[in-house]
Each structure stands twice: as structure tokens, then as C-alpha cells.
Copies of this chain bind each other. A is one copy, B any other.
Amino acid sequence: MEFRAESPMSSPRKYDPPDSPTSVGWTRPQVVRLADARRPFRLECGRTLAPIDVEYETYGRLSPRGDNAVLILHALSGDAHVAGWDATAEAAGRPWRLRKPGWWNGMVGPGKAIDTRRWWVVCSNVLGSCYGTTGPASIDPATGRPYGCRFPPVTVGDWVRLQARLMDHLGIRRLHAVIGGSIGGQQAMEWALRYPRRLDNCIVLASGARLSVQGLAFNMVGRHAILNDPLYAGGDYYQNGRGPDVGLAVARMLAHITYLSEPGMHRKFGRRRNAGAGGEGGFGPEYEVESYLAHQGRSFVERFDANSYLYISRAMDAYDAARWGRGDLVVACHRIRARTMIVSFSSDWLYPPRQSRELALALCRAGREVTYVDLPSDVGHDAFLVETEKVGRLVQAFLESGGPGR
């Protein structure tokens, strides 16, 4: 694999404006109905669901042969808005999109690592989320009211099957690559396991075959805070003006700590006190890290639905790639035909390097083509989002070296 020191994406401006030559520009999410009463969608839990709308975005142009499609899979709190600036943000009641481009804007665009001059990029919002795809806040046709927690449980497998249905709809039989980080990485893996003949390359970032028990524990505490918030109201809070904002903020702040690392937090905040903090009691934010986390909690509540958090975190808990091998990850990996790149980050403790290494080893033992890189970073799990220069070099080279039909 070749590293290019002068790669054009090595120093993208973090927030390039929509008229920048490196930006995908103004974007418009699209919504497609992929299941309805005549063609319902059967979930892994056994229940069927209809209708299902899926919100997605695409960037770049599909080649005449249709061989340049790259599917990006988003993580827990992500959405289909990967890059560029959402032209519909205000009208759609998503004001937070006015302040920031898509969540992987540093990676996706003309001349960036996932170069939209070359690749046709697509990303869809997962089932159960709250960004345009059907989820617990959607209207249940059986009652005329939001599903709330009557929404069926969803799994990573369900997400991937629905993404495959979207690819069918878009006329894509075979993907040049799938790529994702965290639970997005697990979707990438699931693609390679479930549809081995539909993709050439698979990139798994900051992920593992399954969540650790410590990860289960953190997810549980976050859900506990939501479920026991009196404003959760059994999940039927949509008509009440306010939802379980306190519980959701607690869940997010807690999860946010697991996305960072101690050394990274130490570098960023240390034990610095807020200007004006008396150090004399009171329980408000006294240290900079407290103000930072409180802000993270507040801004998450503004943009995310508590029920979606519950459903998606349960899907994250349940995923285990080894199920494809009845518990044996090596047996599972025998299914895979894609070239795979696994990238971990040295300070990630949510999906620590040993989990990525385990996955890479299993692929090796199954005789599959795999590249494994542990990138040095003190940013923690969030590195897959933040370290766009380091990640970009690897991803760009991997995408370009892996031709179609391999």
C-alpha cells in the first residue's frame, strides 16, 4: 500500500463551504419507500414492518458500468448526511445542519480520500433512527400514532438487508466498497458476511466482531437513565411537548466519554477549571470537561430521539459477527470474498485494537485477503471520525488499489 505525502486530501479545511472545490456542495436528502403493505419487510425478530421509508444521500456520479459505488454506513447517532451542506436543513427542521456539514465531510468530496470525482457515494439512515428513515417516532398505521416502544426491535442484519433493498432500487448489483466505523463498521462486516458476492472491498474502522461486556454495561446505564426518566412516559412522549431529555443527555454524556480517551481528554481539558468557577462548592460545571460534556448532552437532545437511542443501542449490543459461523469467527469469515481492511486506533477503548486484531486474525485464518492497521492516535474511538488525514490515506489507497471484480 502506497502512502502519498502530498495527497490532496491530506489537509482539507475542516468545514469547507459549499462553493469550495473540495466540497460536494449543497445536498438534498432523498426518501424512498422500500416497503409497503404489499411488500412488507420481515425483520430478524420475525415481525414484519410496513411502510418503511429510507432517507439517503448520494454524491458523485455513477459510472456507466455501475462499478464505482461506495456505500458508507453510519454509526449510532449518525445519519445519511455524510458530506456537504444540507440545502433543506431549515425547511426540514434540522437547524443543527446549518452549523456543520455532514459528519464525514473531511473524508468525502472532490479530491478527498473518498473522492467523489471517482466514486459514486451513497449512505442511508438506518431503520429505527430518527433522520428520515422509519423509526419509533414514525406513525404506526395500525394506530395513527407514533410507534414509540411498540416499534419492533431492529438488528444490524435488518439494516444491511434494507440497505441491500435500497441498492436494488438504485440498480446497484455490486458495490466497489462498503465502509463504516464503530457500529457502521459492523454493518460493513455484515455486508461482507451476508452478501459476499455483492461487494469487492470492505473497510471496517474502530470496530469489532461484537461489543465488549463493558460496552454492554455502558449502554445499559444510558438506557436505564432514559427509561427511568419520568418524561419517558413508557415511550409515548411525542405528544407531551417534552421527552426524556435528562435521561437522553445522561446517556449521551456517558457514551461520549467512551468515545474519547483519557490521554486525549487530558490533552484537551486536563483538570482546568472554568473561568469564574469558585472552587467553593455548588454542583454546577466547575471543570472545563464538565461544561464540555454538558454541552454535548444539550446539543444531542436537540437532534436525537430517545426511543431511537434505545433501539439502536440494543442493535449495537446484540451484534455478533461470529453468528455466521455458529459462534466461530473463523468459520464465519470463510463466507467473505471481499478484500478487507481493518483499522483500529491505539487509544480506542470502546472497540479496542485487540478486537480489530481478532477480526483480522480470523480473516487470515480463513485464508482471506485482509489488511490490518492499528493507527496511533490519542483521540480514542472518535478517531475514525476525527483523524481524517491518517484514515484518509489508508482508505484512499485501499479503494484505489482494489479494482472491481477481484
Main secondary structure of the interface of A (DSSP, over half): helix
Residues on B with C-beta less than 8 A from A287 are: 213, 216, 220, 317
Residues on B with C-beta less than 8 A from A225 are: 225, 246, 250
Contact with B along A281-292 (1 / 0, CB 8 A): 111011101100
Distance of A269 Cα from B216 Cα, bound (Å): 11
- Indicate if the CB atoms of A294 and B253 lie closer than 8 Å: no
Known A220-B290, A221-B253, A228-B246: A280·B153 in contact at CB below 8 Å: yes
Known A212-B266, A224-B297, A287-B317: A281·B45 in contact at CB below 8 Å: yes
- Indicate if the CB atoms of A283 and B310 lie closer than 8 Å: yes
Contact with B along A202-214 (1 / 0, CB 8 A): 0000000011111
Identical subunits present = 2
- Indicate if the CB atoms of B246 and A289 lie closer than 8 Å: no
User: How many whole Å from A66's CB to the nearest CB in chain B?
Assistant: 37
Q: Which of B46, B265, B281 contacts A213 (CB 8 A)?
A: B265
Residues on B with C-beta less than 8 A from A227 are: 283
**A149 contacts chain B at the CB level, 8 A cutoff:** yes
User: How many whole Å from A161's CB to the nearest CB in chain B?
Assistant: 17
Residues on B with C-beta less than 8 A from A253 are: 217, 220-221, 224
Q: How many residues of A contact B (CB 8 A)?
A: 55
Q: Which of B149, B230, B310 contacts A230 (CB 8 A)?
A: B230
Quick one: closest B residue to A265, CB to CB? B213
User: How many whole Å from A368's CB to the nearest CB in chain B?
Assistant: 25
- Indicate if the CB atoms of A281 and B217 lie closer than 8 Å: no
Residues on B with C-beta less than 8 A from A281 are: 45, 152-153, 314
Known A246-B229, A250-B225: A220·B293 in contact at CB below 8 Å: yes
A residues neighboring B (CB under 8 Å): 45-46, 149, 152-153, 210-214, 216-218, 220-221, 223-225, 227-230, 246, 249-250, 253-254, 257, 260, 262, 265-266, 269-271, 279-283, 285-287, 289-290, 293-294, 297, 310, 314, 317-318, 320, 349, 352
| 21 A-B pairs with C-beta separation under 8 A | A149-B283, A213-B262, A213-B269, A214-B257, A214-B260, A216-B287, A216-B289, A216-B290, A217-B257, A217-B290, A220-B287, A221-B250, A221-B254, A221-B257, A221-B293, A224-B297, A228-B249, A230-B230, A250-B250, A262-B352, A286-B317
